[in-house]
Homo-oligomer: A and B are copies of this chain.
């Protein structure tokens, strides 16, 4: 499994990243902040791949990260390459849940899993805003059906 297996488990947006030596900390493993950076990179890639980024910008809206969760499954080391999948699994009124899975080539295993809660924010009104219908439709097309 690499990108193929992440795709098989439903990820349509997948990025590949090398582990750098300096990603490791004094315990000799990849530091716990690094998968959080990978989640961020996969969120940014997802917004681009799904077309959501352009739709948000056209509507004067932007994404704000409200929360993050990460389960560390394996200790990683340099050298290695990870594949990171992101998918939206739930759309609420003004927020969505994005799930992330990190796959390690060296470990041939899931290395970290987690999710982000992203709020759609109206910068002019300075408050959260209901996710517009065209974004809901774009995400449903990109992901297949999504629960409300």
Which residues of A approach B to under 8 Å, CB–CB? 15-18, 20-22, 24-26, 28, 31-33, 36-37, 40-41, 44, 64-72, 75, 78
Closest chain B CB from A29 CB (angstroms): 8
Smallest beta-carbon distance A39→chain B, Å: 9
| Known A-B contacts A66-B71, A68-B69, A70-B68; A33 and B37 likewise in contact (beta carbons under 8 Å) | yes
Whether B21 lies near A24 (C-beta < 8 A) is: no
Give A44's nearest chain B residue, CB to CB: B21
How near does chain B come to A126, taking the closest CB pair, in angstroms?
12
CA distance A104 to B71 in the complex (A): 27
Q: In the complex, A49→B67 CA distance in Å?
A: 28
Is A32 a contact of B68 with CB atoms below 8 Å?
yes
Residues of chain B contacted by A17 (CB below 8 angstroms)? 18, 20
Show 28 A/B contacts (Cβ-Cβ < 8 Å), sorted by A. A15-B18, A17-B18, A18-B18, A20-B37, A20-B41, A21-B26, A21-B41, A21-B44, A22-B25, A22-B31, A22-B33, A22-B37, A24-B25, A24-B26, A25-B26, A26-B28, A26-B78, A32-B65, A32-B68, A33-B33, A33-B37, A36-B68, A64-B75, A66-B71, A68-B69, A68-B70, A68-B72, A69-B69
